[in-house]
Amino acid sequence: MDNISGVNHSNPRQEVLALLYRYSWGYDSNDMALLGSVFSENGSTGGVVADTSIGWGPWQGRQKIVDELSAIRCSQRDRRRHVITSPVFESVTDGQATLRVYLSLFSYGDGQPPHLVTTGEYVMRASSRDGVWLIDSLDEVLESPF
């Protein structure tokens, strides 16, 4: 186990889940260096709100992802908490994984108590390069606008 990341490097499932957790912590704490560290150099991300024309991305490349998500994060007056649950691995090997999880997105701030603003799911594809797992794509579908 790595004392810095808390990841057991012999278990690909734990390592892949840890990527998504670090992504969430990076966004929620406005630590864009942490958020960027989970994406491959040519990674991509984007999303939609189901049954609407609302969407973002897709953004290609680590720096573009960081820049765009940082701009969104800085435009939000409230603070977000991404809660990741119910992971299902569609495939996993020692070098590649596809993961599906549920997202519950909470908000707090501006005198409001924490409350659920939307739910949805992430589909993530990750791969290991030289023993380091990175996100190749992270696609989001939210169930309602917020």
Q: pLDDT, tens digit, for every residue of 22-40?
A: 999 999 999 999 999 999 9
Q: Is residue 5 part of a domain?
A: no
Q: Is residue 95 part of a domain?
A: yes
Residues 6+ apart with CB under 8 A from 116: 104, 105, 106
Do the Cβ atoms of 76 and 105 come closer than 8 Å?
A: no
- For residue 58, pLDDT beyond 70: yes
CATH number, residue 124 = 3.10.450.50
Beta bridge partners, 125, equal 98, 137
Confidence of residue 9 (pLDDT cuts 50, 70, 90): low
DSSP string, 124-145: EEEEEETTEEEEEEEEEEESS-
Confidence of residue 1 (pLDDT cuts 50, 70, 90): very low
Determine the average pLDDT of the residues in 39-48: 98
Q: Is residue 4 part of a domain?
A: no
User: pTM score > 0.85 for this model?
Assistant: yes
Task: Identify the burial level of 117 via C-beta atoms within 10 angstroms of its C-beta, where 0-12 means exposed, 13-18 middle and 19 or more buried.
Answer: middle
End-to-end CA distance of the chain: 38
Q: How many domains are contained in the chain?
A: 1
Q: pLDDT, tens digit, for every residue of 84-140?
A: 999 999 999 999 999 999 999 999 998 889 999 999 999 999 999 989 999 999 999
Q: Is residue 122 part of a domain?
A: yes
Q: Is residue 80 part of a domain?
A: yes
Residue 4 is given by DSSP the state T
Residue 31 is given by DSSP the state -
State which residues form the domain around 43. 12-142
What is the C-alpha R_g of the chain? 15
Residue 30 is given by DSSP the state T
